[in-house]
Chains A and B, each alone.
Chain A
């Protein structure tokens, strides 16, 4: 059992929010940055007996010499090895009998998770290492200037998938892949639903093996939304059904939030990265969402392609 108390689901978030934050303000993050909010929520959920491993990306720049916002041990290795650096840390703690009551959490971007770091993540999950892996998913390689990753949605504009076509490929589904890879617990989450995310992190901390949480974290310059609208953008992604919130335990899926199923155009029109979409493309996205939502709610989750 990691350090989340005897009954991890009994957790007074309001009380916890009043405590000292384990990541301070004043980082280099953009205004309206959701990934950095994700770190705050992760640390609210896990508390101070936590070691955080970062894979190269935007969040690497949160600590720049000689400043650090972290009040927990934090390390950055390289981009593709979040899973294996974490495995090494667990190995080192085990060897010194210090692994009890310590949460090990990887906080890596979608490029570092879906693409270049997939091997290290898969190895970590395969070996059932007791590590929580959080992917802060802003649907692109944001730190290098918003290039497409395999988490980028179909037709989205990135600097390597410019309009008029945008990204020709649909995204991978990492939570599903990791569930089949052998993770004890997999979930999707969104920064716009912080309580849901905190609950999932705390649940993950109780697992014996690996857990994977795919956290949709809107990015102001990447999604081309206003800094004050990033949370709204995330909320609309969930409410339109484009980012369903669910968890998978022993291949059993639980849908944690029933979206209002607003028309997808509501989410798409506020994001500059979808501005170039034609009407047939919007319709295609809408039809896919409706079809896949139906599949996951009617027991055909493993057949759905994107969700």
Chain B
């Protein structure tokens, strides 16, 4: 059924359709509506899972870990400082190979405190061992939550998944979203029995210390599982496309055919940048765009394949690593090592700073005109 809902409701519908059994949570703007929606469903008897509000995000993540290691399907959501408070648990959850889906609604970091979106919160989790899907539309949020469970619970992978959307731009903006039928999702997403879990009939010891080389082996296995997940993500996305006609890939190429200059970016603002590309294409400019959807594991090959023939590339970061620049920039440069393209970094939209088509047109004009490879602030 098609409904007009915002990003928060989309994420909640994803959890509902996936029949999440446990939702441990803690409120934070701009995520709160997700848990409010689920709480309202629970009160009306429309949501069957357990819903518990804990006393902090740290405890919400801890409870998510606890619930997941009993074999239950777990969903939770957070933003910004809340995500940073959860951070301690994220490597523990991935290290214990505990499947779950965490929706992060991007919001800038304090201080100064702000409520509006940029990606510094979610990108700070890039080394936590979680599969990270960064969405552009509300529909993609809903789809990714459901696909997230299928990827996460795959026996070869058993890794937690972050599904990211942008605060406000997604979370409070209503768009048309197709909510899939429950029957279809039940067929698509059976709940597999986990082999590793806490069960009094088959006792196991989890989360124990490992010293020296044993520790290395565990980390190597985690890395291996991450790399193996490329294949699983691809299969799941193909299966989803067959069911819903909605195609997703690791990266999204937009009008890159015949392009000489392109923007590389993530998140909700991509929609605005796409409009800018359209406007420039109408004027005969050979420009395009690449959106990274799968951020971890990092799809180097696909990025290189999409961009290697371009002359000028603008990596547009809605985040800042103080003392270095944008976070995407070095990653894209690494993926394109050996290519001749001139790669320039632009920082924009921090703390939800307003951006419009003209900003992206300026960036694309600038990246073509400029002879030097450099880092810039688009304010």
Give the interface of A toward B (CB within 8 A): 48-51, 53-54, 60-61, 63-66, 68, 70-78, 80-81, 83-96, 98, 102, 119-120, 122-123, 126-127
- Total interface residues on B, CB under 8 Å, equals 40
Across-interface contacts of B203 in A (CB, < 8 A)? 48, 70-74
Cross-interface CB contact of A123 among B21, B50, B55, cutoff 8 Å: B55
A92 touches B52 (CB 8 A): no
A85 touches B66 (CB 8 A): yes
What is the distance, in angstroms, from A27's C-beta to the closest C-beta of chain B?
A: 12
B62 touches A73 (CB 8 A): no
What is the distance, in angstroms, from B49's C-beta to the closest C-beta of chain A?
A: 6
B206 touches A76 (CB 8 A): yes
For the A-B complex, the count of residue pairs with Cβ-Cβ distances under 8 Å equals 151
B198 touches A73 (CB 8 A): yes
Give the interface of B toward A (CB within 8 A): 21-22, 24, 49-50, 52, 54-56, 58-60, 62-72, 74, 88-89, 92, 198-200, 203-211, 214
B49 touches A87 (CB 8 A): no
Cross-interface CB contact of B92 among A63, A64, A65, A78, cutoff 8 Å: A78
What is the distance, in angstroms, from A210's C-beta to the closest C-beta of chain B?
A: 14
Q: Compute how far the CA of A48 lies from the CA of B68 in the bound complex, rounded to whole angstroms.
A: 21
A84 touches B59 (CB 8 A): yes
Across-interface contacts of B21 in A (CB, < 8 A)? 92, 95-96
Q: Compute how far the CA of A120 lies from the CA of B208 in the bound complex, rounded to whole angstroms.
A: 21
A91 touches B205 (CB 8 A): no
A87 touches B63 (CB 8 A): yes
A81 touches B198 (CB 8 A): no
B208 touches A65 (CB 8 A): yes
Across-interface contacts of B22 in A (CB, < 8 A)? 88, 91-92, 95
Which residue of chain B lies nearest to A49 when distances are taken between CB atoms in the complex?
B200
Known: A51-B200, A77-B89, A93-B70. A88 touches B64 (CB 8 A): yes
Q: Compute how far the CA of A201 lies from the CA of B54 in the bound complex, rounded to whole angstroms.
A: 26
Q: Which of A51, A87, A90, A126 neighbours the largest number of chain B CB atoms within 10 Å of its CB?
A: A87
Q: Could you write out 26 A-B pairs with CB less than 8 Å apart? A: A49-B200, A53-B66, A71-B203, A72-B203, A73-B205, A75-B66, A75-B69, A75-B207, A77-B92, A78-B88, A78-B92, A84-B55, A84-B60, A85-B63, A87-B54, A88-B22, A88-B65, A89-B70, A91-B24, A91-B66, A92-B71, A96-B21, A96-B72, A98-B70, A120-B55, A122-B55
